Amino acid sequence: MAPIILELQKRSMDFEVIHTDQHYDKNMSNIFFEELELPKPDINLKIGSGTQAEQVAGTMLGLEKHFLDNMPDVVLVQGDTNAVLGGALAAVKMGIKVGHVEAGLRSHDNRMPEEHNRRLTDHISTLLFAPTQNSADILKNENVWGDIHITGNTVIDSLIRYLPKAKTDIKERLDIDSFILMTAHRAENVDDPISLAGLVTIMEKCPMPVVYPIHPRTRKNLENTGLMSRIDSSNNIHLIEPVGYFEFLGMEKECSLVISDSGGIQEEVTAPGIRKPIVVIRDSTERPEAVDSGFAQVVGLSPKEVLAAVDKAFATIDDLADRSPYGDGTAGKQIVDILASIDI
């Protein structure tokens, strides 16, 4: 949301920032407001952890209470988290227009909670800001009621704006010459002991050191399953604490390739200044443009398949596209242009 917030500030338009606090660890929350020079949230819902239902319900209850005294003209939500669905439902139930940033993404994998969240949010939104033509076509084919606008994705805006500030000393700190950057946080990968053991095997056998900024929940799972002993005995695996946005951008820039189950990172690696191959450790992706443009391979979690994809990525690294399929860095401006031009 940073590019939209900064554009609203630039035009002196009246807005509020509402922080759900779904990610409440300092390294996954406060540091982003500080680094991106965003205004402090006007309200913090303090949703925290909990079940899927608790997070959606907590968001709805907190926002309904706030909106009764602070009725907005439109509520913008971005992405596919439980808080996004809760925010959209709270708004539409009170007759407030909803704008969904990053609309139209589909993995077609109904096992993913995120798939439910984004589909439901799209179908109750008044404004749908699709990052690509493919996303817009999906929305049209689903006969959504809202107005569809192709804007690119604000992820690229942020990368272009902040990449000059990206910095990391990870190579010096870990005394390594090169590395693979890994992230994994999805429940199907890190909450299942068999899948988690597969992740460890992949990291053990990668052709160069693996740096893994690890989610606190995943670290706990590794300890509870006894897998941490394998990591401690491997010279190839480097677990580090979650890092801020600037350091993570620096790591994306410095790494040789990325292994991840993240959605957003599939877009980030396509940006000018990054341009790195990514091996997606999922069975499906809602970012097919990253695959079509040659950046991503979607391979699942089989160690054999993942390691083969890593070898292939190294062999084809010079063939990556020069331009990102997710826009030219003006998505935030386009979205605010649309908001300013319509009667809301």
As a whole number, mean pLDDT of residues 127-138 equals 98
Q: Is residue 61's pLDDT more than 60?
A: yes
In this prediction, residue 216 carries a pLDDT of: 86
Q: Which domain holds residue 50?
A: 2-153+327-341
Active-site positions read 185
Q: Is residue 159 part of a domain?
A: no
Residue 319 confidence class, pLDDT cut points 50, 70, 90: confident
Interval 80-108: pLDDT, tens: 999 999 999 999 999 999 999 999 999 99
Q: Is residue 230's pLDDT more than 80?
A: yes
* Domain match, 8 and 115 both: yes
Picking from 237, 202, 216, 225, the residue whose alpha carbon sits closest to that of residue 311 is 202
As a whole number, mean pLDDT of residues 123-136 equals 98
* Contact of 15 with 27, CB cutoff 8 Å: no
pTM equals 0.88
* Domain match, 196 and 84 both: no
As a whole number, mean pLDDT of residues 294-314 equals 96
Comparing 109-118, 129-138, 294-303, which segment has the lowest mean pLDDT?
109-118
* Domain match, 125 and 28 both: yes
Interval 167-207: pLDDT, tens: 999 999 999 999 999 999 888 888 899 999 999 999 999 99
* Domain match, 23 and 139 both: yes
* Domain match, 20 and 117 both: yes
In this prediction, residue 217 carries a pLDDT of: 87
* Domain match, 36 and 146 both: yes
| Domain count across the chain | 2
Question: Cβ neighbours of residue 75 under 8 Å, at least 6 residues apart?
Answer: 63, 87, 88, 90, 91, 96, 97, 98, 99
Strand-by-strand arrangement of the 210-213 sheet: 237-240, 210-213, 180-183, 257-260, 278-280, 296-298
In this prediction, residue 29 carries a pLDDT of: 64
